[in-house]
């Protein structure tokens, strides 16, 4: 449902472009060598320390606390004890590897109090360049790369004992890898489906006279939706009713576009280059297909037709609402009868009943006399009224089929991908296609996530991790609930409701049990309609498209399955679903540096603990707060609390909106669109740290890492930082012990700032509140559970703030926080509530891809990817 069905589709829609290129083996060997070297060095240091009977001092001058800090620590009964004895040092393989990783990623020559980012991630940055196939590269991406290596191994391992679901996944993979046959068949499979669609006028002689007179927009849109899972011009999909989380309902919304965001269609500067490359791409493909159909070359016709297509799509883009205007789900949601829909949005005679019934007929569902729909895209439909009859049937058909062709390019022979290369370069900055096996692994995993998940779990997931993660969730959740009590801006009534909601959040950890149960037929039944052929990759993809559409549409008459997993297991990401009040931590993210039973708890709390806090906080961000403990859109806030939430949100919007990103042509971050993620980032690390303090105070005994003289809380923060490296430090004096290490290509930065609901990595910093009266003596200031922006500091110019790495105050003299006027409008698309097809939960999708809830999906109320409407982590 709603997923782009091919790796290409992902790339086209969301922007992530594959990955590296430089030999993976080469890189992997280098990494392994470095790890082993680091481990040996660490062990050597440890041995030396033991010999001397004391621990090595790694950075003695920097890692100390001021007198004031120590005083404060003493006042706090839950202060973390520092390791004094060698017995505290863990020398297990897991700890040695963790120590080596931390050492390698750091740059101890940097002063942590001046530039924590370089201190924590300098080593990582020195050792990595962005691969030519990638538009961004970070610790997250490396984990995804490594996961794909595992999947490659299991998908290529042939055995006769595989159950049907697994056999089909392996067959799909082999067909994707069958490049010889893909080249041999060339464009023929695509030409076959153009007939099904009524032809692509630009490649058909006399289309106007032949098909034209019989052409119906309603039918064409229905075919695109049901056969190819492409919801073009009008987005129609089935999802949980926001107001009644137990049932499904029909949604009507504005559509996605061929390019990743609406701004590309009419803004100048770099957008013009992208637009020109997009048009050239269209014309090239049309010219190639005309030749394949033995039609005479006609560059004038091709130019004329494709220019019309771009003009139409530009009008559609202009009709869509920018992301910041789709921020509030409560104002987006309009439930109405079919009759009302027809009366309010006549669209010059568009027959809504015919369109919707045509779609539902594909799954044998009949419209009810009192059928209701929810319209999300009212402004779009109003604008569409003035567009829909301006363009001819030929142009409209040219556009619909172009969207199908665009989606299928990745399934075709190399010359079609070559025709796309320049467009991708201008759009993403990538110059090399993803290596084939990675594309195929990603494609199979995103289309058969349960089958692939079962292979991944058996191969790489320690079964007893589930319980340990569940305990961590309980600890972070308990802190969240306790912290609610400390919030001065929330009244008792709202606190009680919030606590109930937090306690009612259901968790999914690792994977659904049924995928490992040999006697449970559910896994095989999921794929019972699929019959792949090793020689027909293109048609296999079509089967996936149709099956995805049908799975989604069928749900209309089904009650909501609250136990349904909204994402596969082999995914390096985490999610919150407001419609389900559910947090999900796939097995793919339950690995170091985020989590391991073999590493100190400081690393687990700073890693997966922070992720848990992030996802829980999504339940209370600007979107999640509109849903109650059962996932129903319901206003449970008192006026007092809601008013203060909004006030503090404005502060955070202003704060992030003032960050300008040099890499993205100095555009400002969109404070509105990123609000939910920024709230989650801020809340998550605070809760995790507080939970760690509490665990220690209650008798938890942690262990130190060899070769490092980092205190427990320093370990917490350095793992938090290294879990996601970020590029250069921000040009603001905000305390920056945060990190998210990683780098972007400029082209992708420009796209990302328009489309990603997450702030750029470098702004996902640790929320220390400088100058606040409760400024931290150790690491964090007053811990808040949610919605209390650290930007309060800006209202009260900071005098000082401290981090656990600093003995001295942070000076505010290192540059002024650049307060600029609130960002005018950096509109984004898709809107806050993204159409299901725009996002996709899958490993690579955590990359900005069409499948990407890039990494913490959108804080949406509806599922984006397959069935998910969720907020993801990255
Ligand atoms: Zn998130």
Give 874 Cα–ligand 1 centroid separation in angstroms.
6
* Residue 98, both tokens: 């963790």
Quick count: other Cβ atoms within 10 Å of Cβ 488? 8
Q: Kind and range of the H or E element at 871?
A: strand 871-872
Q: At which of 385, 412, 439 does a domain end?
A: 412
Q: Of 98, 115, 113, whose CA–CA distance to 715 is shortest?
A: 98
Catalytic residue list contains 183: no
**pLDDT tens for residues 302-350?**
999 999 999 999 999 999 999 888 989 999 999 999 999 999 999 999 9
DSSP one-letter code for 605 = I
| Inside any domain, residue 407 | yes
Cα(344) to centroid(ligand 1), Å: 36
Within a domain: 352: yes
CB 201 within 8 A of CB 398: yes
C-alpha to C-alpha distances, 487 to 431, 773, 808, nearest whole angstrom:
50, 15, 29
pLDDT value at position 289?
98
Protein residues with C-beta less than 5 angstroms from the ion ligand 1: 677, 680, 856, 871
Q: How far is the CA of 115 from the centre of ligand 1 (A)?
A: 26
CATH number where 285 lies: 1.10.1380.10
Number of neighbouring beta carbons within 10 Å of residue 498: 25
Last residue of a domain, one of 366, 385, 412: 412
Taking 3-state DSSP, the helix, strand and coil percentages for the chain, each rounded to the nearest 5, stand at 50, 5, 40
Between the alpha carbon of residue 188 and those of residues 31, 154, 181, 227, 419, the distances in Å are 43, 31, 12, 18, 17
∠ CA 291-420-21, nearest 5°, is 130
> In this structure, how many other beta carbons lie within 10 angstroms of the beta carbon of residue 23?
11
Task: Kindly give the distance from the C-alpha atom of residue 445 to the centroid of ligand 1, in angstroms, as a whole number.
Answer: 22
Which two tokens mark 661? 């990103």
213 membership: H or E segment, kind and range: none
Task: List 660's β-bridge partners, or say none.
Answer: 668
Instruction: Tell me the per-residue pLDDT of 834-859, one tens digit each, with 9 for 90 and over.
Output: 323 222 222 222 222 222 222 232 22
Ligand 1 centre to CA of 628 (Å) is 19
Residue 438 Cα to chain centre, angstroms: 19
Give the pLDDT confidence score for residue 750 in this predicted structure: 82
Output the CA 800–ligand 1 centroid distance in Å: 29
Angle 645-646-648 from CA coordinates, rounded to 5°:
65
Task: Single out the residue of 222, 251, 229 nearest to residue 361, CA to CA.
Answer: 222
- Interval between CA 723 and ligand 1 midpoint (Å): 15
How many whole angstroms separate alpha carbon 207 and alpha carbon 204?
6
Residue 567 and residue 449 in contact, taking contact as beta carbons nearer than 8 Å: yes
Return the structure tokens found at 714. Answer: 């320093």
Q: State how far the Cα of 760 lies from the Cα of 783, in Å rounded to an integer.
A: 24
For the chain, list residues with pLDDT below 50: 1-34, 36-79, 725-739, 767-803, 806-869
**Which one of 69, 148, 263, 615 is the catalytic residue?**
615
State which residues form the domain around 195.
187-412
The two beta strands, 372-375 and 244-253, are parallel
Instruction: With CA atoms as reference, report the closest residue to 197 among 167, 228, 174.
Output: 228
Give the residue among 673, 677, 676 at the shortest CA–CA distance from 828. Answer: 673
What's the 52 CA to ligand 1 centre distance in angstroms? 46
Instruction: Give per-residue pLDDT as tens, 707-749.
Output: 988 889 889 988 887 765 333 222 222 222 223 577 788 888 8
**Residue 220 contacts by C-beta under 8 Å, 6 or more apart in sequence?**
197, 198, 396, 397, 400
d(CA 786, CA 619): 10
Known catalytic membership, residue 500: no
Q: Residue 833 Cα, ligand 1 centroid: separation in angstroms?
A: 14
Q: What are the phi and psi torsion angles at 246 (to 5°)?
A: -90, -10
Q: Do the domain assignments include residue 283?
A: yes
- Whether residue 102 lies inside any domain: the answer is no
Flag whether 695 is in a domain.
no
Q: How far is CA 566 from CA 221, 248, 462, 550, in A?
A: 27, 15, 21, 16
Query: What distance in angstroms lies between residue 731's CA and the mean position of ligand 1's atoms?
Result: 24
Q: Residue 853: inside a domain, yes or no?
A: yes
**Exactly one of 681, 713, 747, 756 is catalytic; which is it?**
681
Span from the CA of 573 to the centroid of ligand 1 (angstroms)? 10
Instruction: Give CA–CA dist 348/382, Å, rounded.
Output: 11
Residue 214: how many other CB atoms lie within 10 Å: 9
Asked if 19 and 145 count as a contact pair (C-beta separation under 8 A), the reply is yes
Return the ∠ at Cα 495 (arms to 489 and 496), rounded to 5°: 165
| End-of-domain residue from the set 378, 412, 446 | 412
Report yes or no: 524 and 164 within 8 Å, Cβ to Cβ. Answer: yes
Distance CA 770, CA 781 (A): 8
CA of 567 to the centre of ligand 1 (A): 15
CB 349 within 8 A of CB 227: no
CA distance 172 to 462: 27
DSSP letters spanning 141-165 = HHHHHHHHHHHHHHHH---TT--HH
3-class SS letters over 365-390: CCCCCCCEEEECCHHHHHHHCCCCCC
User: Which residues are CB-neighbours of 33 under 8 A, at least 6 positions away?
Assistant: none
In contact, 628 and 619? CB cutoff 8 Å: no
Count of CA atoms in the C-beta half-sphere (13 A) of 182: 23
Query: Nearest to residue 507, comparing CAs of 619, 339, 621?
Result: 619
395 domain-assigned: yes
* DSSP alpha helix (H) spans, 608-674: 610-618, 639-657
How many whole angstroms from its chain centre is CA 207? 41
Total tally of structural domains belonging to the chain: 2
Residue 59 to residues 55, 107, 684, 709, 719, Cα–Cα distance (Å): 12, 11, 28, 7, 17
Residue 369 and residue 533: Cα distance in Å, rounded? 42
Residue 681 CA to ligand 1 centre (angstroms): 7
Q: How many CB atoms lie within 10 A of CB 364?
A: 10
Yes or no: say if 826 and 753 are a contact pair by the CB < 8 Å rule: yes
CA gap 416, 159 in Å, rounded: 34
614 C-alpha to ligand 1 centroid (Å) = 6
What is the DSSP code (8-state) at residue 582? E
Output the CA 623–ligand 1 centroid distance in Å: 11
pLDDT of residue 3: 31
Sign of the dihedral through C-alpha 99, 103, 106, 111: positive
Q: How far is the CA of 738 from the centre of ligand 1 (A)?
A: 16
pLDDT at 702: 95
The residue among 120, 19, 107 whose CA lies nearest residue 765 is: 120
**Residue 470 Cα to ligand 1 middle (Å):** 19
> What is the residue-wise DSSP string for 422-489?
HHHHHHH---SPPPHHHHHHHHHHHHSHHHHHHHHHHHH--TTHHHHHHHHHHHHHHHHHHHHHH-TT
Q: What is the predicted pLDDT for the residue at 664?
A: 87
Distance CA 674, CA 858 (A): 9
Nearest-angstrom CA–CA distance, 119 and 725: 11
- Centroid of ligand 1 to alpha carbon of 856 (angstroms): 4
Residue 31 neighbours by CB under 8 Å, 6+ apart: none
Q: Tell whether 21 is covered by a domain.
A: no
CA of 607 to the centre of ligand 1 (A): 14
661, containing H or E segment: strand 660-661
Please state, in angstroms and rounded to a whole number, the distance separating the CA atoms of residues 287 and 298.
8
Structure-block tokens of residue 286: 């049309």
Length of the chain: 874
Ligand 1 geometric centre to CA of 274 (Å):
29
**Residue 848 DSSP code:** T
618 C-alpha to ligand 1 centroid (Å): 7
- Distance (angstroms) between ligand 1 centre and the Cα of 371 equals 34
């Amino acid at each position: 449902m709603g997923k782009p069905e091919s790796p290409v589709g992902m790339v086209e829609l969301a922007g992530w472009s594959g990955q590296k290129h430089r030999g993976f083996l080469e890189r992997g060997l280098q990494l392994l060598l470095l790890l082993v070297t680091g481990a040996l060095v660490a062990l050597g240091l440890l041995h030396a320390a033991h010999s001397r009977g004391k621990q090595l001092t790694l950075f003695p001058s920097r890692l100390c606390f001021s007198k004031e800090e120590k005083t404060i620590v003493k006042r706090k009964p839950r202060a973390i004890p520092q390791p004094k004895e060698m017995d505290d040092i863990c020398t297990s393989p897991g700890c040695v590897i963790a120590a080596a990783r931390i050492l390698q990623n750091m740059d101890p020559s940097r002063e942590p109090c001046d530039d924590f980012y370089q201190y924590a991630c300098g080593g990582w940055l020195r050792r990595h360049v962005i691969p030519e196939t990638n538009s961004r590269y970070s610790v997250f991406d490396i984990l995804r790369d490594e996961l794909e290596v595992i999947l490659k191994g299991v998908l290529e391992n042939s055995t006769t004992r595989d159950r049907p679901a697994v056999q089909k996944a392996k067959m799909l993979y082999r067909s994707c890898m069958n490049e010889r046959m893909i080249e041999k068949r060339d464009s023929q499979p695509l030409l076959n489906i153009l007939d099904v669609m009524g032809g692509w006028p630009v490649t058909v002689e006399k289309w106007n006279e032949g098909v034209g007179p019989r052409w119906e927009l309603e039918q064409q849109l229905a075919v695109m939706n049901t056969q190819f899972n492409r919801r073009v011009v009008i987005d129609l999909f089935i999802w949980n009713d926001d107001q009644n989380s137990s049932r499904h309902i029909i949604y009507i919304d504005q559509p996605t576009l061929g390019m990743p965001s609406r701004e590309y269609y009419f803004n100048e500067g770099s957008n013009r280059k992208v637009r020109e490359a997009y048009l050239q791409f269209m014309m090239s493909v049309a010219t190639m297909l005309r030749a394949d159909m033995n039609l005479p070359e006609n560059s004038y016709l091709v130019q004329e037709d494709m220019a019309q297509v771009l003009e139409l799509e530009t009008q559609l883009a202009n009709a869509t609402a920018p992301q910041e205007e789709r921020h509030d789900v409560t104002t987006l949601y309009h439930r109405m009868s079919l009759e009302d829909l027809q009366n309010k949005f006549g669209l010059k005679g568009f027959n809504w009943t015919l369109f919707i019934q045509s779609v539902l007929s594909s799954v044998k569902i009949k419209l009810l006399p009192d059928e209701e729909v929810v319209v999300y895209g009212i402004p779009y439909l109003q604008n569409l009224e003035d567009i829909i009859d301006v363009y001819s049937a030929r142009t409209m058909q040219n556009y619909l089929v172009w969207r199908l062709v665009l989606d299928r390019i990745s399934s075709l022979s190399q010359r079609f991908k070559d025709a796309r290369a320049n467009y991708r370069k201008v759009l993403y900055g990538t110059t090399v296609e993803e290596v084939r096996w990675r594309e195929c692994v990603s494609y199979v995993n995103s289309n058969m996530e349960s089958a692939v998940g079962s292979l991944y779990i058996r191969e790489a997931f320690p079964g007893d991790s589930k319980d340990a993660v569940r305990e961590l969730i309980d600890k972070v959740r308990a802190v969240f609930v306790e912290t609610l009590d400390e919030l001065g801006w929330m009244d008792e009534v709202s606190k009680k409701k919030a606590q109930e909601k937090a306690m009612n959040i259901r968790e999914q950890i690792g994977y659904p049990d049924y995928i490992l149960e040999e006697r449970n037929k559910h896994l095989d039944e999921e794929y019972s309609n699929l019959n792949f052929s090793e020689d027909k990759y293109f048609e296999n993809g079509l089967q996936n498209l149709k099956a995805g559409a049908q799975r989604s549409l069928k749900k209309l008459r089904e009650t909501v399955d609250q136990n349904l997993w909204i994402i596969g297991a082999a995914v390096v990401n985490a999610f919150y679903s407001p419609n389900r009040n559910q947090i999900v931590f796939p097995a793919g993210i339950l690995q170091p540096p985020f989590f391991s039973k073999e590493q100190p708890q400081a690393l687990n709390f700073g890693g997966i603990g922070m992720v848990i806090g992030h996802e829980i906080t999504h339940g209370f961000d600007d979107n999640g707060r509109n849903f109650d403990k059962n996932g129903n859109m319901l206003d449970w806030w008192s006026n007092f609390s809601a008013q203060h939430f909004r006030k503090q949100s404005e502060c955070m919007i202003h704060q992030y909106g003032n960050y300008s990103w040099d890499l993205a042509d100095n555009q400002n971050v969109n404070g509105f669109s990123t609000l939910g993620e920024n709230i989650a980032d801020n809340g998550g690390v605070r809760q995790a740290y507080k939970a760690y303090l509490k665990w220690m105070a209650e008798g938890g005994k942690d262990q130190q890492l060899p070769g490092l003289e980092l205190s427990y809380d320093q370990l917490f923060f350095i793992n938090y930082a290294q879990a996601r490296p970020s590029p250069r430090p921000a040009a603001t004096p905000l305390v920056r012990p945060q990190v998210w290490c990683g780098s972007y290509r400029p082209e992708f930065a420009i796209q990302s700032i328009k489309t990603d609901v997450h702030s750029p990595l470098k702004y996902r910093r640790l929320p220390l509140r400088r100058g606040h009266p409760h400024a931290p003596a150790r690491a964090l200031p007053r811990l808040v559970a949610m919605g209390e922006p650290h930007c309060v500091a800006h209202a009260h110019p900071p005098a000082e703030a401290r981090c656990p790495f600093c003995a001295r105050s942070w000076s505010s003299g290192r540059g002024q926080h650049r307060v600029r006027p609130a960002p005018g409008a950096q509109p984004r698309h898709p809107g806050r509530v993204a159409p299901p097809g725009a996002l996709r939960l899958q490993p690579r999708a955590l990359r900005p891809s069409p499948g990407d809830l890039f990494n913490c999906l959108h804080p949406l109320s509806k599922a984006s990817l397959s069935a998910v409407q969720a907020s993801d982590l990255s």
